[in-house]
């Protein structure tokens, strides 16, 4: 019996929250059915649905139950605040790590692109010089091989 009391005492907050969630589900169903019954009755009698106190009361019950459900599972549930803080901390770490990784990656890519462009420029310059030398050699060779023209 002592163990039972200890378990109940330690989990009292969770038990209360679960009971509030159960009550909010019951209130939601009650509000839904109140609104549904009133709306269908009005439609059967009049051919249209008017916003009356009964329909409004059902909608208010539904809204209150949704707020209670939201409170239980998104605000008051044990560990939800710690979980949110941990997620926020993890997101900040990811963001800062990602920003640093992007900066380093951009720097390395810039360096690699600059080196590639320099190599390509040097290669084009060497090829142009080689073509120029070859054409000079061809002209010299052709001028040596052709006999002098005497008039």
Are 3 and 74 in a shared domain?
A: yes
Tokens 């770490």, located at residue:
93
Are 14 and 60 in a shared domain?
A: yes
Domain annotation covers residue 127: yes
Task: Look at residues 78, 93, 108 and tell me which one is the last residue of a structural domain.
Answer: 78
Is the pLDDT assigned to residue 108 strictly greater than 80? yes
Question: Domain containing 1: what range?
Answer: 1-78
Across 5-14, 88-97, 124-133, which has the greatest mean pLDDT? 124-133
Are 23 and 67 in a shared domain?
A: yes
Is the pLDDT assigned to residue 146 strictly greater than 70? no
**Token digits of residue 139:** 């002209």
Mean pLDDT score of the chain: 85
Decide: 58 and 35 in contact? Cβ < 8 Å.
Answer: yes
Are 65 and 110 in a shared domain?
A: no
Task: Look at residues 55, 78, 101 and tell me which one is the last residue of a structural domain.
Answer: 78
Rg (CA), the chain: 42
The pLDDT tens digits of the residues spanning 46-104 come to 999 899 999 999 999 999 999 999 988 888 877 777 777 787 887 777 666 567 777 88
**Torsion sign across C-alpha atoms 87, 91, 94, 96:** negative
Q: How far apart are CA 34 and CA 60, in angstroms?
A: 11
Is the pLDDT assigned to residue 16 strictly greater than 60? yes
Q: pTM of the prediction? A: 0.50
pLDDT of residue 103: 80
């Amino acid at each position: 019996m002592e163990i039972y009391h200890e378990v109940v005492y330690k989990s009292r907050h969770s038990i209360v929250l679960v009971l509030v969630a159960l009550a909010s589900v019951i209130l939601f169903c009650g509000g839904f059915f109140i609104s549904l019954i009133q709306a269908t009755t009005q439609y059967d009698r009049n051919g249209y649905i008017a916003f009356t106190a009964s329909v409004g009361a059902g909608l208010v019950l539904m809204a209150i139950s949704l707020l209670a459900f939201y409170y239980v599972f998104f605000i008051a549930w044990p560990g939800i605040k710690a979980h949110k803080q941990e997620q926020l901390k993890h997101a900040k770490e990811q963001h800062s790590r990602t920003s640093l990784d992007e900066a380093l990656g951009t720097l390395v890519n810039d360096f690699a692109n600059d080196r590639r462009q320099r190599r390509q420029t040097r290669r084009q310059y060497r090829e142009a010089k080689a073509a120029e030398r070859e054409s000079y050699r061809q002209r010299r060779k052709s001028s040596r091989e052709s006999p002098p023209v005497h008039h």
